[in-house]
A and B are shown apart, each in its own frame.
Chain A
Amino acid sequence: GAVVSQHPSWVICKSGTSVKIECRSLDFQATTMFWYRQFPKQSLMLMATSNEGSKATYEQGVEKDKFLINHASLTLSTLTVTSAHPEDSSFYICSAEGADLYEQYFGPGTRLTVT
């Protein structure tokens, strides 16, 4: 089956530093990847849609200069949280769209803690 990985699975960083999270589709090519944010005991909120070779499309209220998304290849998308602050602490989940339209395969998530 389609597998999506994320790295790292958890990260702790100091306030003001930047953190990069990788999302990879391991056994399929993903034209479109999605980045979600999930607060404790809450649902997933779509942050942005990432298409290979083009700029990401950000949801309303998501700061594109703070959450930099790069989708350089059909198997890799990265999310960089720049100048992180404690309020950026969250669970970040990526997903990749498979060949079957409207079906997404989710990564295991990355727990970010900013101190």
Chain B
Amino acid sequence: AQSVTQPDIHITVSEGASLELRCNYSYGATPYLFWYVQSPGQGLQLLLKYFSGDTLVQGIKGFEAEFKRSQSSFNLRKPSVHWSDAAEYFCAVDSGGFKTIFGAGTRLFVKA
């Protein structure tokens, strides 16, 4: 069965420091992969997606993610975190049949 694992429930990063959020997936074929961000009490906003092609994907708000097939990973990165980046981040995979499976989420805390 398809699954998405985000090993870190929460991460704390100092403002200005770099960030990497981990995501591993289990899927038989090349998946469609997504990263979403959710602010408290809000819906989800798409940060970036990977369908095919270049394995390094650029997204909005300065985020990027790299698809590594050999590691079944799609980690999200940002070189310099801003206080406004504090939110919940969800990795997701399209499992086929137009169903998206979400990871458990990683809450990002940013300290001054």
Are B103 and A93 in contact, CB atoms less than 8 angstroms apart? no
Are A107 and B98 in contact, CB atoms less than 8 angstroms apart? no
Q: Mark A98-115, 1 if CB is under 8 A from B, else 0.
A: 000111111111010000
Residue A88 at the B interface, CB < 8 A? no
The minimal Cβ–Cβ distance linking A91 to chain B, given in whole angstroms, is 8
Residue B84 at the A interface, CB < 8 A? no
- A-B interface contact total, Cβ < 8 Å: 47
Count of chain B residues near A, Cβ 8 A: 20
Given contacts A49-B98, A102-B32, A109-B41, contact A43 B49 (CB under 8 A): no
Residue B45 at the A interface, CB < 8 A? yes
The minimal Cβ–Cβ distance linking A41 to chain B, given in whole angstroms, is 8
Q: Mark A38-60, 1 if CB is under 8 A from B, else 0.
A: 00011110100100000000000
Q: Which of under 10, 10 to 19, 20 to 34, or 35 or more describes the interface residues of A?
A: 20 to 34
List which A5-32 residues lie within 8 A (CB) of chain B.
6, 32
The minimal Cβ–Cβ distance linking B97 to chain A, given in whole angstroms, is 9
Are A109 and B100 in contact, CB atoms less than 8 angstroms apart? no
User: Closest B-chain residue to A91, C-beta based?
Assistant: B41
Chain B contact residues, CB within 8 Å of chain A: 32, 36, 41-46, 49, 51, 90, 94, 98-100, 102-105, 107
Q: List 20 extra interface pairs beyond A32-B98, A43-B102, A102-B32, CB under 8 A.
A: A34-B100, A41-B107, A43-B90, A43-B104, A46-B99, A46-B100, A95-B44, A97-B98, A102-B49, A102-B94, A102-B98, A102-B100, A105-B46, A106-B43, A106-B45, A107-B43, A108-B43, A109-B41, A109-B42, A109-B43
